[in-house]
C-alpha cells in the first residue's frame, strides 16, 4: 500500500473528538477502503488540559495551529475550529497557500469565503472538502456532486437545522410553547446557551447557500438569502397547522428562476413553512436533517439522517479524508463546487414578489369590534384571496384580551401579501407584527 495520509487536526470539540475516535476505531477498515492508512500526526486546540474523553497522548500537540500550514510532515489540515473569520480562516488560507489539502466542517466559513478558498485550492492543485459543513453525516454534497451529476437540479430544499426541527417537532408532540421547548432543548444540549444562530435561521442559511452553489453551479451568494427563524411560532400555530393537515418545519429553499427580463436569477430563502402531511419532510422529527433535490431526469431525491453530533459529523469528515487518500480529489472532477470556479455562474437574486403560492397568516389583535373587517379589507384591497379564516381568543399580557386571527390564502403572488401587510402596518388593532408562513408545494 501507499504511504499513509498524514493529517493535522485543528479543533478538539465534539466533532474533533469524534474524528479521533472514528479513525482509531475503524483504522483497518479505513485503510482497506482508502488504499492506505490515515494517520493523525498533530493536533491543536485552545485548552490543552481539557478532558475530551479520548486519549490524545499519541499525537503531537501544537499550540499554534497555523504552524500546520508549513509543516512538511502534514498532507491534510482538518479545520474544526468554527467561525466564518478569525483563526479558522487564517488557517485555511495558509494551508491552501502552502499546498495542503483542507477538510472542514465550517459552514459559516464556506458560505462567506468558499469561493476564495476554492480558487486557492484549484491554484495549488489540492483538495478543499466540506461534506460535514452541510447536514452533518448526511452525504448530500457528494450526492449532488457525484450521484446527481448528470442532472439539471431544478430545486433543492430541506430541513437544515436540527435544533429548530427538534423544537418544532417537540411543540407538536407536547403542545408546549416555544420558550418552554427551547429551555428544554438547552438543558439537553440540543441548543446553545445563545441559540440565536440556530433559531433565527442563520445556520440553515449558511448551509443553503452552499447547497445552492453545488446544485446549480453558481458562486456562493449568502447575503441575499431571505431569512426568517422560528422564535415567533406559537403552540397555537402548531395546533392550527395540524387541524389544516400540515406540520410546521423550518425549510431552506433554493431554485433558479427566469425573470421578466429573460435573465436567470437565484432564489434563496430560509423560512418556516406549512408542510403537507404526505410530503417526505413532514415526518422528519427531532434533530434530524433532510434535503430534497429535484433533478430533471432523476426526479425527487431525498437525503436524510443525523444533522449533527460527534459520530455523524466525524463520519463526513473522515469520508472526505478517504476521498483524498484515494486520489479522488484530483483531476477534472475535483472542483470543490462541482465545476471550476471560473466556470461558476454569478446570478442576481430573484425577486420573491412574483412567486406564486399559498400562505398561512397569523395576526395577534385587540379583541374589539371591527378588527376582523379591517384585516379582510386590507386583504381585499391588496388582491389576496382568503381560502379559510379562524379566530381564536387568548389571554394577553397584563390581563388585556387579545385574539389570534389565522387565515390561509388561495394561490397568488407573494407581492399581494406584502402589500396587504403594508396596508395594515401601524394599525393600532395589531398588538404585534403578523406572522407569515408559506405553504410548501410539490
Residues noted as catalytic: 207
Residue the block writes with cell 483524498: 324
- Determine the Cα–Cα distance for residues 33 and 234; give it in Å rounded to an integer: 49
- Determine the Cα–Cα distance for residues 311 and 316; give it in Å rounded to an integer: 9
* CB atoms near residue 254 (< 10 Å): 24
- Determine the Cα–Cα distance for residues 214 and 142; give it in Å rounded to an integer: 10
The DSSP code for 69 is G
HSE-CB at 128 with a 13 A cutoff on CA atoms is 31
Residue the block writes with cell 479513525: 23
User: In terms of C-beta distances under 8 Å and separation of at least 24 residues, what long-range contacts does 382-388 make, across chains too?
Assistant: 382/416, 382/417, 382/419, 382/420, 382/423, 383/412, 383/416, 383/419, 384/409, 384/412, 384/416, 384/417, 384/420, 385/409, 385/410, 385/412, 386/410, 387/358, 388/244
* CB atoms near residue 193 (< 10 Å): 5
Amino acid at each position: 500500500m501507499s504511504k499513509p495520509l498524514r493529517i493535522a487536526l485543528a479543533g478538539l470539540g465534539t466533532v474533533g473528538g469524534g474524528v479521533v475516535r472514528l479513525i482509531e476505531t475503524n483504522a483497518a477498515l479505513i485503510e482497506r477502503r482508502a488504499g492506505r492508512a490515515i494517520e493523525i500526526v498533530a493536533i491543536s486546540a485552545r485548552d490543552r488540559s481539557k478532558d475530551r474523553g479520548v486519549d490524545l497522548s499519541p499525537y503531537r500537540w501544537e499550540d499554534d495551529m497555523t504552524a500546520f500550514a508549513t509543516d512538511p510532515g502534514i498532507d491534510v489540515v482538518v479545520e474544526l475550529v468554527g467561525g466564518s473569520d478569525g483563526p479558522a480562516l487564517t488557517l485555511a488560507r495558509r494551508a491552501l497557500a502552502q499546498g495542503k489539502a483542507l477538510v472542514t466542517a465550517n459552514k459559516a466559513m464556506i458560505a462567506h469565503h468558499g469561493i476564495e478558498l476554492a480558487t486557492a485550492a484549484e491554484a495549488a492543485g489540492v483538495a478543499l472538502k466540506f461534506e460535514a459543513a452541510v447536514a452533518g453525516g448526511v452525504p448530500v454534497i457528494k450526492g449532488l456532486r457525484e450521484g446527481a451529476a448528470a442532472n439539471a437540479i431544478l430545486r433543492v430544499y430541506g430541513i437544515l437545522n436540527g435544533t429548530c426541527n427538534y423544537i418544532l417537532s417537540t411543540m407538536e408532540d407536547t403542545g408546549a410553547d416555544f420558550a418552554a421547548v427551547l429551555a428544554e432543548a438547552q438543558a439537553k444540549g440540543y441548543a446553545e446557551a445563545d441559540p440565536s444562530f440556530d433559531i433565527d435561521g442563520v445556520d440553515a442559511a449558511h448551509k443553503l447557500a452552499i447547497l445552492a452553489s453545488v446544485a446549480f453551479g453558481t458562486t456562493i451568494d449568502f447575503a441575499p438569502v431571505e431569512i426568517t427563524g422560528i422564535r415567533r411560532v406559537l403552540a397555537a400555530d402548531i395546533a392550527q397547522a395540524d387541524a389544516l393537515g400540515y406540520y410546521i418545519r423550518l425549510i431552506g429553499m433554493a431554485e433558479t428562476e427566469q425573470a421578466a427580463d429573460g435573465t436567470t436569477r437565484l432564489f434563496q430563502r430560509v423560512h418556516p413553512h406549512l408542510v403537507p402531511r404526505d410530503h417526505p419532510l413532514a415526518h422528519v422529527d427531532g434533530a434530524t436533517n433532510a434535503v430534497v433535490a429535484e433533478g430533471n431526469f432523476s426526479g425527487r431525491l431525498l437525503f436524510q439522517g443525523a444533522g449533527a453530533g460527534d459520530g455523524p459529523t466525524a463520519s463526513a469528515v473522515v469520508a472526505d479524508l478517504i476521498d483524498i487518500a484515494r486520489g479522488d480529489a484530483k483531476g477534472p472532477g475535483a472542483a470543490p463546487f462541482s465545476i471550476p470556479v471560473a466556470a461558476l455562474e454569478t446570478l442576481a437574486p430573484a425577486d420573491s414578489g412574483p412567486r406564486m403560492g399559498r400562505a398561512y397568516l397569523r395576526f395577534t389583535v385587540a379583541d374589539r369590534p371591527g378588527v376582523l373587517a379591517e384585516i379582510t379589507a386590507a386583504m381585499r384591497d391588496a388582491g389576496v384571496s382568503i381560502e379559510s379564516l379562524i379566530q381564536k381568543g387568548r389571554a394577553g399580557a397584563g390581563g388585556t384580551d387579545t385574539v389570534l386571527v389565522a387565515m390561509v390564502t388561495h394561490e397568488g403572488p407573494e407581492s399581494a401579501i406584502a402589500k396587504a401587510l403594508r396596508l395594515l402596518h401601524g394599525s393600532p388593532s395589531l398588538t404585534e407584527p403578523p406572522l407569515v408562513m408559506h405553504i410548501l408545494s410539490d
